[in-house]
Amino acid sequence: MTSDDFDRRVRVRVYEIAMDRGTPPAAAELAAAIGCERAEVLASFGRLAEAHVLVLQRDNGEILMAPPFSAVPTPFVVETPRYATYGNCIWDALGIAAMLRTDARIVTSCGDCGTAAEVVVDGDEVRGEGLIHFAIPARDWWNDIVFT
């Protein structure tokens, strides 16, 4: 199996798990699931991060983000009929509902003043008060995706 084939297998399984439970797997869990060594999975994570598929935690190489899913709590709680999970930003929070093809309630706060905010995805309709602001053009997001 080539590294491209292995990375594709890892990528598919990461997203199957994330979509099933709302959070990406740890490397050891994924290694056990696909029958390989943790080091092989971590190497694949690294290649997938270089390709802008995943974002890794700086200290251990584990997944921080499998966009639109976050592996850690964020200010963007996405409540679906199956589970509650975290989006990395409002765009990703909306992306979770779209990816899962489900209704959702996104609980967050205003990035400027901290006031509680809620966005509801109901079928093809998105409702909420306020506006979504992207301070950095999308073409520049990957320059520092964690802080974008």
Domain boundary among 46, 69, 92: 69
User: For 51-81, what is each residue's pLDDT tens digit?
Assistant: 999 999 999 999 999 999 999 999 999 999 9
The one-letter amino acid code at 148 reads T
Contact 11, 18 (CB under 8 A): no
What is the token pair recorded at 91?
């765009």
- Report pLDDT for 70: 98
CATH of the domain at 100: 3.15.10.60
pTM, whole model, 2 decimals? Answer: 0.90
Model confidence at 133, in pLDDT bands (50, 70, 90)?
confident
Q: Give the range of the structural domain holding residue 125, as residue numbers without chain letter.
A: 73-134
8 and 65 within one domain: yes
pLDDT at 148: 66
Average pLDDT, the chain: 93
Strands 69-70 and 55-56: unpaired
* Same-domain check for residues 34 and 61: yes
Average pLDDT of 100-104? 97
Residues 94 and 41 in one domain: no
* Assigned domain for 145 exists: no
pLDDT of amino acid 98: 97
Beta strands across the sheet bearing 69-70: 55-56, 63-66, 69-70, 84-87, 76-79, 104-109, 116-122, 125-128
- Tell whether 84 and 58 lie within a shared domain: no
